[in-house]
Amino acid sequence: MTVTETIEHGVAVFRIAGDVLGGPEAREINERLRRAVREGCKNAVLDVSGVGVVNSSGLGLLIAGLTIMRNAGGELRLAGVSSRLRKLLDVTKLSQVFPLDSTVEEALSHFLAI
């Protein structure tokens, strides 16, 4: 799994590619989210359009990220969710918890409208 990070319109955008299986990479993403909060970004987008497989540890990573952002008074949106990931989010009812957007631009537009 690789992660690139940018700040767009004051929102931290993380583009994730590869499989999300937990482990050291998961801790890295959550630490990056915490750092973004410390640096003043209360909102974040995870672009998961490049993600292949997500296991239960990967779901834990997503939930932890959402918790980090919400505890900071912000929000975490998922962008580019594949049909495979969408099915997993639906089965686990997490699609009712996470704000889902088709693209990063769509996710950003929600934050800009606030």
Residues of the chain with pLDDT > 70, as a percent, come to 99
Number of domains in the chain: 1
Looking at residue 22, its pLDDT comes to: 79
Q: Per-residue DSSP letters for 9-63?
A: TTEEEEEEEEEE--THHHHHHHHHHHHHHHTT--EEEEEEEEEEEE-HHHHHHHH
Looking at residue 28, its pLDDT comes to: 87
Domain that holds residue 105: 2-112
Looking at residue 114, its pLDDT comes to: 63
* CA atoms within 13 A of residue 65's CA, in its CB half-sphere: 30
Residue 49: pLDDT over 90? yes
pLDDT tens-digit readout, 4-19 = 999 999 999 999 999 9
Type and span of the H or E element at 8:
strand 2-8
Residues of the chain with pLDDT > 90, as a percent, come to 85
Mean of the per-residue pLDDT values for the chain?
Answer: 94
Residue 92: pLDDT over 80? yes
With tokens 């690139």, the residue in question is 4
d(Cα 68, Cα 74) in Å, to the nearest integer? 9
Q: What is the CATH number of the domain that holds 43?
A: 3.30.750.24
Distance of CA 47 to the CA centre of its chain: 6
100-113 average pLDDT score: 95
Residue 96: pLDDT over 70? yes
pLDDT tens-digit readout, 8-48 = 999 999 999 999 887 887 788 999 999 999 999 999 999 99
